[in-house]
Amino acid sequence: MFRSMISRRACLLAMAGALAAGTMLQAPAVRAQEALPAKPEAGAFKLGIEPWLGYGLWHVAAKKDLFAKEGLSDVEIVNFTEDKDLNAALASGQLDAATIATHTAMGMVQAGLPVKIVMLLDFSLSADAILAGKDIKSIADLKGKEVAFEEGTTSDILLNYALSSNGMTIDDIVRVPMPAADAGTALIAGRVPVAVTYEPYISSARAQDPNVSLLFTAGVDPGLVSDVLIVRDEVLKEKPGQVVAMLKAWDAALADYRKNTAEDRAIIAEAVGAKPEELTTAFYGVQYYSVGEAAAAFKGDFSGKTFGDVLAAAKKAGLVKKDITPESVIDPAFAAAAAK
C-alpha cells in the first residue's frame, strides 16, 4: 500500500529525451506577463496525480465541489501509480497538468519538455530524513559507512544535500541502493548503520528501535524536498483562466483542511489507500503551501536559495546534468493572479 503511496517521489526520466522529440515541443510560447482572465475557459481540465498525501488537497477539492465553485465545470483527476506513465501522458498531451517533485520538474524542462511550475504544493519538514543508529552522531560520521537509500528519488536529493553541506560527497560513503520502503528495515535489522527514507517508514523504524535517531531532516532547508504543479506551455496559453481557477480551488481546499482537518485527512487517506491513523505522523511532517505563500516564495527564497540548493543536489545525484535557471522552470504569474 505505502509503496504506491510514495511512488511519485522517484525521478524516472530515462524516457525524457524520447518524449522531448515529440510534437509536444511545438507548443506555443507561454503567455506569462499578459493580464490573466478572471474566469476559466470552457472545457475539461485533466490533472495527472499519484497517491501521495502531499497532493491530497486536490481530492478534498473534488470531494467538496470546490472546483465547481471556482467555475471549473469539468475537472478530471487521472490517477497514476508510476512516474513513467504520468510523464508519458503529459508529454503526449493527454494531460493538461501534473503533480511532481521539484527536481523532477527541473529534469523535464532540461530535457526539452515545454512545461512550467505554476504552484508550490507542499514541502517536507520531518517527513524525509536520514536515520542513524546509536553509533552515528553527525553527518561527518557517515564517512566510509554504508548508507541505504533509493537512488533517483528525493532521498537521493536529501543525502547529497546533507553531504555537501558538510564538505563531503556521495563518494565519501558506501552506497547501498534499495527502495525507501526497505531502507528503514535494513537499519533496524543491523544490515546498515544509516538509512535515508520518509514517512511512514521513519515512524515505523523509530517505533521498532528507540536507538534510531533523526540525523538530518528536510526541514533544514524547507522546500528542498517539495512538490509542484506543472502545466504544459500550450495549456498556459490556451486555458490560462482554468489554471488560475485550479489554484484558487487548491487554496479553498487548504482553507477547508485547516478548519476540518480530521475530516479532510480522512478524504486524503482514502484517496491514497490508507487509514487516517496510519498517516498521522506523515501528515505532521508535510506542510502545504497556500497560493499566497507560493506566490511569495516564487519572489523570494524558493527562486533563489532553495532552487539553487535543489539544483545542486540534483546535479550531484546525477538527476540533472547541467545548470538551469528559475526563469526557465517557473512561471509565477498564475500564483500571483490566484492570490489576488
- Per residue, the 3-state secondary structure of 11-24, as one string, reads CCCCCHHHHHCCHH
The tens digit of pLDDT for each residue in 243-281 reads 999 999 999 999 999 999 999 999 999 998 888 888 888
Q: Residues 260, 333: one domain?
A: yes
Is residue 291 within a helix (H) or strand (E), and if so which, with residue range?
A: helix 291-299
Distance from chain centroid for Cα 309: 15
Select from 160, 192, 220 the last residue of a domain: 220
Which stretches within 148-290 are classed as H helix?
Answer: 154-165, 180-188, 201-208, 233-238, 240-259, 261-271, 280-284
Structural domain containing residue 196:
128-220
pTM of the entire predicted model: 0.85
Q: How many domains are there within the chain? A: 2
Q: Residues 58, 90: one domain?
A: yes
- The CATH number for 250's domain is 3.40.190.10
Q: Residues 90, 231: one domain?
A: yes
Facing residues of 194 across strands? 132, 147
Select from 198, 220, 242 the last residue of a domain: 220
Q: Where are the beta strands (DSSP E) in the chain?
A: 45-49, 75-79, 97-101, 115-124, 128-132, 146-149, 174-177, 194-198, 213-217, 226-232, 286-288
- Going 38 to 337 to 237 to 224, the CA torsion angle's sign is negative
Q: Residues 71, 107: one domain?
A: yes
What type of residue is 304?
G
Q: Residues 190, 113: one domain?
A: no
Q: Residues 330, 267: one domain?
A: yes
Select from 220, 237, 269 the last residue of a domain: 220
Q: Residues 231, 110: one domain?
A: yes
Q: Residues 180, 231: one domain?
A: no
Q: Residues 81, 104: one domain?
A: yes
- pLDDT (tens digit, 0 to 9) for every residue of the chain, 340 residues total? 443 454 445 544 443 443 444 444 444 444 444 578 879 999 999 999 988 889 999 999 999 999 999 999 999 999 987 777 888 899 899 999 999 999 999 999 998 899 999 999 999 998 899 999 989 999 999 999 999 999 988 899 999 999 999 999 999 999 999 998 899 999 999 999 999 998 878 988 998 999 999 999 999 998 899 999 999 999 999 999 999 999 999 999 999 999 999 999 999 999 988 888 888 888 988 999 999 999 999 999 899 999 999 999 999 888 898 899 999 999 999 999 999 8
Q: Residues 97, 243: one domain?
A: yes
Q: Residues 255, 111: one domain?
A: yes
Residue 228 to residue 115: CA distance in whole angstroms: 12
